[in-house]
Amino acid sequence: MEIKFIGTGSGITSLKRFHSSILINNYTLIDCGDSTTRALLSGSTGINAIGNIVITHFHPDHYSGLTSLIVNMYLTGRSEKLIIYVHQNMIPFTIQLFKHSYLLSIQSKLGIEIKGYDAGEEIILSDDLKIIPYRNSHIINNNDLEDSDIYYSFSLLLKTAEKSVAYTSDIGCPEDLLLFKEIPLDLLISEATHVNIDGILSEVAKFSTGNIILTHIDENSEDELDKKLAALDSELNIIKAFDGLVIRI
């Protein structure tokens, strides 16, 4: 599995890092925050190689680059099909977003499909990649609206025939990491804004992988994170992601 970190910043717009987005096997884009098109271009990543886009939740740093990316795909002569996966409750919003961004004719010309997913249901993205969404507490904690139809946020298990990778996206508390505790992982990609390194390490010790990549880095707390990582006395293999980082496992 090849994982390219397109944007590794937090919700705060920064000159150091783009907003959240990672690209799997040069084909599946997970999250598409503000300026993701520019982030892809900065990393010399062709936007028209992307065949799937999965949105973990609808905070702007995870989805607000979507319409711009589609326009740019159209303007650069895309002809391949594109599938966009959102939580099933967000399909009506996504349709309206396309409509009010004047994208319906582009959607039709490019054959863009909007598909819904739900917790625990496999999404088959290609012959060699499937994803299983796990609902986490990120939006629930922030909004205290557990019963709402739209306040959903997901961490993802990414699986190829041989490898399993957990991507937290945004989580609500360190305990959300335990969504993956029964799964043998080759790599954990954890956000580092809504949970700090101490919280991550306290929970990660309860499950298997020693390979951790930190992303969703908040520039206001990055110096503190660097100090903690430098002082860490741990056998874990922890990497702080940067825009353009490519990992092959």
Q: For residue 104, which of 71, 145, 149 has the smallest C-alpha distance? A: 71
Provide the minimum distance between the beta carbon of 186 and Zn ion in the complex, in angstroms, as a whole number. 24
Residue position matching structure tokens 């992982």: 185
Cβ proximity to Zn ion: between 106 and 217 the closer is 217
Instruction: Name the helix (H) or strand (E) containing 99.
Output: helix 91-100
Provide the minimum distance between the beta carbon of 142 and Zn ion in the complex, in angstroms, as a whole number. 8
State residue 95 phi and psi, 5-degree precision. Answer: -60, -45
Residues 131 and 122: beta-carbon distance below 8 Å: yes
Provide the minimum distance between the beta carbon of 137 and Zn ion in the complex, in angstroms, as a whole number. 11
Which parts of 157-216 interact with Zn ion (CB under 5 A)?
Answer: 170
Provide the minimum distance between the beta carbon of 10 and Zn ion in the complex, in angstroms, as a whole number. 6
Q: What CA–CA distance (Å, rounded) separates 81 from 95?
A: 17
Which parts of 36-65 interact with Zn ion (CB under 5 A)?
Answer: 59, 61
Q: Which stretch binds Zn ion (CB under 5 A): 4-12, 48-56, 100-108, 228-236?
A: 4-12
Cβ proximity to Zn ion: between 11 and 199 the closer is 11
In one letter, which amino acid is 42? Answer: S
Q: Which residues contact Zn ion (rule: CB under 5 A)? A: 11, 59, 61, 170
